Structure 1
Amino acid sequence: MQSIEPVLADGADAVTAVLDAGLAPALGAERAARWRVERAGYRPTVHTLGHGEGILAAALTSGRPATAATKIVDLWTSPDAPDDAADRLVARVIAAAVERGDAAVKWELPEGAAVPASALAHGFVPLRAPWGAVGTEGTRGLVHWLVPLTHDEPGYYGQTTLFTCGAVAGLIASERYGSHGFAGETVPDRDLEIEFWRRASNYPACEPLGLAVTVQEHIGPSGAVEVALDHPGPVLLEDFTGFDYDFRAELQRESRKRAADLGILVADSRVAMTEVASRVAAGEQALLLIDEAPMHADPGPHWIVAHAAAGPYVVVEDPWVNTATGETWVDTHDLPIHVDDLERLVAWGPEGYRGVIFLSPR
């Protein structure tokens, strides 16, 4: 058989065109529905061998903006495809990720699906199963690191509300210090998530000082907490006025006093993301207050956990899974981000202030 080179097509329209050109019937209704999930804005790309009704193999990939990972959503091969079709497509996906500057390629598998031989051949390894992941727990995940990023893989938990990202981030980071955390038990884990949020909350957001205090109280003497916040007054209150502003500002002043009582260092200087990367690479963790706009084209304050780093990449846990765009916990667990993207992400409000909470062993 004459060799056919893989073809890459970017964008949601390209994916639809390939499905309509003959791939959808070959996939079957249920599988084709996964391909038709609206991923516009999340780098949907289709890699094919053959064309039209002569497609022999196809791989669908996606990737969250402002991050350094590509995910294989699905890979299909025809019974008539050459034996090396899957390997060639996976190699092309990896090559495209390298060209883009990614640090990892992930592979999402439905529950019960066997690990493809082509995944094993290209060095993909299983990701740690999550404690909880808002309806996507049954999905399995694999990863192939493109850069040396050896690290201890943390556990993952997806926030179950729109407002508990800070609590979940703090609890994920606390695992390293032997503190009581998530255990993969639905009701107790969610009770812990809500209870931690209630203690850390500025209603509804968790601001840096209140979150730092709650994390320090949770991990106790096994770890030390430090805050870098380059804003002198109350934060995350841009949408409040009058009483709604005043009582939240009062809570933040109380959190600052409590931080001093606990010996939490609070620095008012703006920390560079290269410093965050360096400290995390040396063994610390950092809770980062980000603006979600670069990732989702929709502004909103959000907390993530930086837990590993090497070179220009920082690896994070993001508690938010955007299931509407086809994301699962595979996207948001052990997620690499380039420091240049972090410089854009870690800033909030009209002034672009920066909130970072460092955790280190005592």
Structure 2
Amino acid sequence: TRESGHHGCRRRRREKGCDMKVLDPSIVEGADGIAELLAGGLATLLGPEAAARWQIRREHYQPRVLLSADGDGIAAAALVSNRPATAALKIVDLWCCEAPALTPMLDAVIAMARQARAAVVKWEIRHDAGLPEAARPRGFVEMQPRAHPDPGVDGYALWLTPLPHTEPRYYAQSTEFTCGAVAGLLAAELVGRPGFSGDLRDRRLELDFWRTASNFPACEPIGLAVAVQRHLGVDRHVEVALDTENPLLIDEFRGFDREFRIELQNDSRQHAADLGVTVRGDRVEIAEVAERISVGEIALLLITQTPMHGQNEPHWITAHASDGQTLVVVQDPWLDRPGGETWVDAHDLPIRLAELDRMCRWGRDEHRGVVFVARE
């Protein structure tokens, strides 16, 4: 968030051809439209560092720019984005020529979020910039930092749908394949067991946990539940709901590569029995998942990435809060950094139950795998 010098900003808007006629407020949608807007003079107003962020092509994440204008051209601009199938809107950046223009632009963004039925508005702010004073009366509060703090980006949240809950720290998976390990370790933290420490030991912990849970490279539900139970100890109950007795996540393998993964999954079932991990064979309904989370349980959810990222890949997320009826709040350990995402996108992310039902399916038969972890 930046404000330009009063007189210099007006002069640049006239001199650089930024006096385009803009409705108040107007919306420019899509990566191509934003690129054209930047080339037409907005990049000059933003400055090189900010313009570079605005030029990232976020097309899968529904980028939009809200604009307001006065007699000299663009007076304020807000770049927003959101993951599809989620109930969050993110302010990537908000620029204004003069301080008075910030408040109506911020209110326009909040109004847009309400119209889209977003549960939360997140604001990604450069670490040395700080939250503008106009945002605090509207209810924006700082979000918990990542386990390894990002020195460049802070995050603030305005919950439009109140959902009181304990906010966890955020940790991003450091590989393409350790989502299950990160999800399990985040669950451990949430139930009061050792998790990430916030230093260089965390990556080794992530990889070591993945080794114990992996079906190489993916973590299947029962193997992940066994690893979580071993990490937590016997005084925390772990339960698996998996609607098939057949091996999972092996469709792409043949021959030996397939057979040894089947052997590992059979072994995981035996370990689950030995450790007292409950294994259900029915298809758990999302309504039950939400209700159990709302009374304190943690749920590790096997999802497809298609609704959020357009990629049909298996993935684990940690669901840690819910109102029991409409929303579930998750930690997603994966970020699309080339697409402009930061920890602000994936942290404390609300998802409506209908969308979560669409995500929690995997493979041709759309199997559902959920690992429940009790807090006590």
TM over 0.5: yes
Q: Cα offset for 1:51?
A: 7.7
Note the residue ranges of structure 1 that are not aligned, 5 or more in a row: none
Change (3 A) 1:16 1:121: farther
Q: Extract structure 1 runs of 4+ deviating beyond 4 A.
A: none
Identity of aligned residues (%): 51
8 Å CA contact 2:125, 2:155 repeated in 1:
yes
Q: Unmatched 5+ residue regions in structure 2? A: 1-22
**Structure having the higher Rg:** 2
Q: Give the alignment of 1:62-211 within 5 angstroms.
A: 62-79=81-98, 83-132=99-148, 136=150, 138-185=152-199, 187-211=200-224
Corresponding residue number in structure 2 for 1:323: 337
Distance 1:150 1:179 in 2: 22
Corresponding residue for residue 53 of structure 2: 34
Which segment is superposed worse, 92-101 or 345-354? Answer: 92-101
> Which of 266, 273, 278 in structure 2 is aligned with 1:260?
273
Tell whether the 8 Å contact from 1:22 to 1:53 is kept in structure 2 after alignment: no
1:126-180 alpha-carbon deviations (Å, 9 max, x no partner): 00011037xx553100000010110000111000000000000000010023222
Change in 2 beyond 3 A, CA 1:53/1:227: farther
Offset, 1:52: 10
Deviation at 1:8, TM superposition (A): 2.2
| C-alpha displacement of 1:338 | 0.6
Query: RMSD value over aligned CA atoms?
Result: 1.6
**1:177·1:222 contact (CA, 8 Å) conserved in 2?**
no
Deviation at 1:16, TM superposition (A): 1.9
CA distance in 2, matches of 1:197, 1:168: 8
2:20 maps to what in 1? none
The 5 A counterparts of 1:35-50 are 35-50=54-69
Change (3 A) 1:257 1:77: same
Question: Is this contact kept in 2: 1:14–1:46, CA < 8 A?
Answer: no
- The offset of 1:261, in angstroms, is 1.0
Counterpart of 1:352 in 2: which secondary structure?
coil
Q: Per-residue displacement from partner, 1:21-63 (whole Å, max 9, x unpaired)?
A: 2211011111101001010010101011118970000000011
**Alpha-carbon distance change, 9 to 246 in structure 1, aligned in 2, over 3 angstroms:** same
| 2:301 aligned partner | 288
**1:24 equivalenced with 2:43 (yes/no):** yes
- Other-structure match for 2:243: 230
Aligned-partner Cα distance in 2 for 1:75–1:25: 15
Deviating more after overlay: 15-24 vs 337-346: 15-24
- Secondary structure at the counterpart of residue 156 of structure 2: strand
**Is the CA contact (8 Å cut-off) linking 1:21 and 1:53 kept in structure 2?**
no
Distance 2:375 2:38 in 1: 52
Higher mean alpha-carbon deviation, 203-212 vs 6-15, is at: 6-15
AA of the residue aligned to 1:357: V
| Counterpart residue identity of residue 292, structure 1 | Q
Give, in angstroms, the shift of residue 17 of structure 1.
Answer: 2.7
**Secondary structure at the residue paired with 1:46?**
strand
Is this contact kept in 2: 1:137–1:329, CA < 8 A? no
Structure 1: which amino acid aligns with 2:370? V
Query: What is aligned with 2:7?
Result: none
The correspondence for 2:78, drawn from 59, 62, 84, is 59
What's the secondary structure of 1:76's corresponding residue?
strand
Partners of 2:71 and 2:203 lie apart in 1 by 48
Secondary structure, counterpart of 1:50 in structure 2: strand
Q: How many residues align?
A: 354
The two structures have a TM-score, normalised by structure 2, of 0.91
Counterparts of 1:331-346 in structure 2, within 5 Å, are 331-346=345-360
